[in-house]
Structures are given as C-alpha cells and as structure tokens.
C-alpha cells in the first residue's frame, strides 16, 4: 500500500539519480543496431527464460544463459530452446574455476560479515569475457524476471552505444529498488529506479568495466575513476513482482552494497569538479553512515504508523528495516574507504585481463576453453550455432 499525498521528505536520502544520465525517448533514436548477444544470469527453472528466448528469436542473435543452483541447468534449458534460436547454455557451479581475476574487493570481504553468497557478478563478468573472446561489441544483459515489450526498443538501445558506454531501459512493473528503498517508497517517500543490470545494453570494448561481488554491482559497473561513464536510458521493460520483505536477511545482505553505492552516488549528485573517488574519504563515509542510519530510522517510524492489516505486512517491513539497521551499525568508514581503493585496483586489473583475452576464440567451443583457469575442469555447456530450418 503506497501512501497517497505529498511525498515524505528526508534530508538523509536522495530518491533519484536520473539527472545523472541522458533520458532519450524512443522516438528520438533515429536508427537501430545489431545486437551481438543477450546474456541472462539465472538460478531459476528454464521456464523463466521464455521472454529472453522470444527476444533472441526476434533479434536473430545468440542467447547466452548462465546457470547455477538446483533448478537451473544448462541441459534443461537446452531442452526448451525452439529450433529458430541460437543459444549457449553454461553451468556455472563453481566460480573459483572461472578465468576471472582474483578481485581485491572479493578478498576484502571474504572473512567478514559483508561477504555475499551470490554469483551474479561473476556470471556477468563471465559474459563480458565471453564477448571479448568472441568479438561481440553490443550485448544485452537481461535478468530472467524482466519482460521486454518489443525488440525494437532493444535495437534502439544498441544503436545508442555508438555514443554511450551503456544504455539502460526504463524498468516498469514492480520497481527495481533495495528493500530499504521499497519501504521508503511504500510509506510515501519519493523513490525512482536507476539504470541496472536487469536490462542493460553495453559496449564491451570501449572503456570496459566489471561487476564486483556486492549488492548494486551494476551501479559500480557504470562508474569510472572520476565520474559516471557515458550513460543513457530509453525504452521500457517490466519487472515481475516479488515480496521484498519476505525475509529480513535480504535487507541485511543488501545493506553494505546499498551504503557503498548510495554513498558514491551522493558524491556524484553533488559533484562540481574533481573525482568522486578523491572525495570518498573517511570523513565522507562517517557523515554518510550517519545519514543512512537516520534515513532507516525515519522510514521505520513511518512503517510504525501504518494501520494494522496494511499490505505489505508492516511487521515484515519493520523486521527487514531492523535487519538493515543492525547491519549498517557494523559498517565502519575506514572499511568503506578500503573497499573503494580495492575497487579502483580491481578495475585496472580487469582492463588488463581483457587485453590478454581479446578476439582469441574462433568459435563457441574454443571460447569455452578460455573461460576457465589453467588446469581447471571445463564447463558443462550446451549450444546451437545455427538455427534449424
């Protein structure tokens, strides 16, 4: 239940960063461009791939699906692929086997409470490495819970990659926010969605970046060392609904990444001259952490004022906010500084890694050999190079 009336105001949170990117209406895009591949990281049953499969058929491009966990397997996905779709389905069960750098950001949180048990960043980086090997310049990252209305919007987004490093699509349907920001919106706060990896066209060779293993990894992908990369948003997709308050652990798991990303974008919102990274020192993080705690407490107070029987359940919302509040209290300014420094080193390490793996693959089976570390077992995969007549 969203509260009607004037939006709740807070000085501790900025509910929109849309002014940081160019908003382009589909009618203003004069051309369309070829899409080299659609890349879908997934942990769900292959039926969730239906919309991505249909989009790949309409675009005439390969569909790359990256699978892990119980219900999501390459062979199951391959069995559902229509004859007119080229595809590559890969099982990504053990990310330590992948031919990816040993990221300093991952090592920093490895033995801490901020370690995140997800493979989403690794899968997206694997997709970028595959594109580099195969010479795919324009790829679309698409989450399996995203529905694309028309392939024309995707082709227009790809065309904008002539001028931009990444182009997102407006995410309609259920808003793409963190748990805390969902609660802020549902209790009357102004809250937009920003560009995200759920529906993102990227140019893979110019000004490359990577996805760290942290919540809001896509917000970090959009950065360079001084500012945002060249970004635009156009078109429209729809995210399927889910319950963000189904378990407090979700909010707890997101909080470190939400603090880092919102803290960086707070600097970008305020920037006049100079690098955001140069301003992201201990003083900034001490002030921002105080703002974040005040923000969560403000939202929590609004949740407590909701009438009994409201939807979503106010008790579930409160439990999630308290989980986030507990986690933010464990974040130290010095650790935020260390993470940003590690991220800067990782970005350089990733660029060097890609330079060593450019246009090495003659075909898909050849590319698969380069996706694992030397001596590691090969990846289990299924693929179709050409559509069947």
Banded model confidence at residue 202, pLDDT cuts 50, 70, 90 = very high
* Of 95 and 18, more confident: 95
Q: What is the pLDDT of residue 389?
A: 55
Q: What is the pLDDT of residue 272?
A: 63
Mean pLDDT of 219-224: 96
Helices vs strands, H then E, count in the chain:
13, 10
Mean pLDDT of the chain: 93
Q: What is the pLDDT of residue 244?
A: 96
Q: What is the pLDDT of residue 2?
A: 46
Q: Of all residues in the chain, what percent carry a pLDDT higher than 70?
A: 96
- Helix, strand, coil fractions of the chain, as percent rounded to 5: 45, 15, 40
Q: What angle do CA 213, 292, 269 make, to 5 degrees?
A: 80
Banded model confidence at residue 274, pLDDT cuts 50, 70, 90 = low
pLDDT at 71 over 90: no
Q: What is the pLDDT of residue 331?
A: 98
Q: Are 92 and 126 in contact (CB under 8 A)?
A: yes
Fold of 18-376: Spore Coat Polysaccharide Biosynthesis Protein SpsA; Chain A (3.90.550)
Q: How far apart are CA 74 and CA 82, in angstroms?
A: 15
The token pair that represents 91 in the structure block:
């099982």
Which of 56-65, 163-172, 190-199, 266-275 has the least mean pLDDT? Answer: 266-275
What pTM value is reported for the model? 0.94
pLDDT at 388 over 80: no
Torsion of CA 309, 313, 315, 318, to 10 degrees: -130
Tell me: the pLDDT tens digits for 300-340?
999 999 998 889 999 999 999 999 999 999 999 999 999 99
Nearest in space to 248 (alpha carbons), one of 319, 348, 162, 171: 319
- DSSP three-state, residue 173: strand
pLDDT at 85 over 70: yes
Q: What is the pLDDT of residue 5?
A: 47
Tell me: the pLDDT tens digits for 157-194?
999 999 999 999 988 888 889 999 999 999 999 998 88
First to last CA, the chain: 50
Q: Are 333 and 45 in contact (CB under 8 A)?
A: no
* Residue corresponding to tokens 């890609």: 354
Give the orientation angle of helix 120-134 with respect to helix 333-355, to 10 degrees: 20
pLDDT at 295 over 80: yes
pLDDT at 127 over 60: yes
Q: Identify whether 151 is preceded by a cis peptide bond (ω within 30 of 0).
A: no
Banded model confidence at residue 1, pLDDT cuts 50, 70, 90 = very low
pLDDT at 4 over 60: no
Q: What angle do CA 29, 31, 33 make, to 5 degrees?
A: 115
């Amino acid at each position: 239940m969203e509260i009607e009336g004037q939006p709740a105001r807070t000085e501790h949170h900025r509910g929109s960063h849309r002014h940081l990117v160019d908003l382009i209406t589909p009618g203003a895009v004069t051309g369309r461009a070829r899409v080299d591949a659609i890349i879908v990281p997934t942990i769900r049953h292959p039926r969730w791939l239906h919309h991505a499969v249909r989009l790949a058929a309409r675009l005439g491009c390969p569909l790359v699906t990256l699978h892990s966990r119980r219900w999501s397997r390459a062979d199951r996905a391959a069995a559902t692929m229509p004859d007119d779709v080229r595809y590559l389905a890969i099982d990504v069960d053990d990310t330590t086997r992948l031919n990816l750098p040993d990221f300093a950001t991952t090592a920093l949180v490895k033995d801490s409470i901020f370690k995140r048990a997800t493979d989403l960043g690794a899968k997206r980086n694997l997709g970028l490495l595959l594109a580099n090997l195969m010479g795919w310049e324009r790829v679309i990252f698409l989450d399996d819970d995203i529905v694309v209305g028309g392939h024309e919007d995707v082709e227009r987004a790809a065309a904008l990659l002539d001028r931009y490093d990444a182009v997102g699509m407006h995410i309609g349907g259920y808003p793409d926010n963190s748990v805390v920001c969902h609660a802020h919106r549902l209790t009357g706060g102004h809250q937009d969605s920003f560009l995200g990896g759920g529906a993102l066209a990227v140019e893979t060779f110019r000004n490359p970046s990577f996805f760290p293993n942290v919540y809001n990894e896509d917000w970090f992908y959009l950065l360079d060392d001084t500012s945002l990369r060249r970004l635009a948003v156009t078109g429209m997709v729809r995210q399927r609904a889910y319950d963000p308050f189904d378990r407090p652990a979700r909010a707890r798991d997101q909080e470190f990444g939400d603090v880092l990303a919102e803290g960086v974008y707070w600097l970008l919102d305020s920037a006049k001259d100079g690098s955001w990274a140069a301003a992201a020192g201990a003083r900034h993080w001490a002030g921002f952490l105080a703002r974040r705690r005040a923000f969560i407490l403000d939202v929590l107070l609004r949740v407590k004022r909701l009438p009994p029987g409201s939807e979503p359940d106010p008790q579930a919302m409160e439990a999630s906010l308290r989980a986030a509040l507990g986690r933010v209290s464990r974040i130290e300014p010095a650790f935020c500084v260390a993470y940003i420094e590690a991220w800067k080193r990782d970005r350089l390490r990733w660029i060097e890694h890609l330079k060593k793996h450019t246009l090495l693959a003659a075909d898909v089976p050849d590319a698969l050999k380069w996706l694992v570390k030397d001596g590691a077992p090969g990846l289990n995969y299924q693929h179709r190079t050409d559509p069947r007549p």
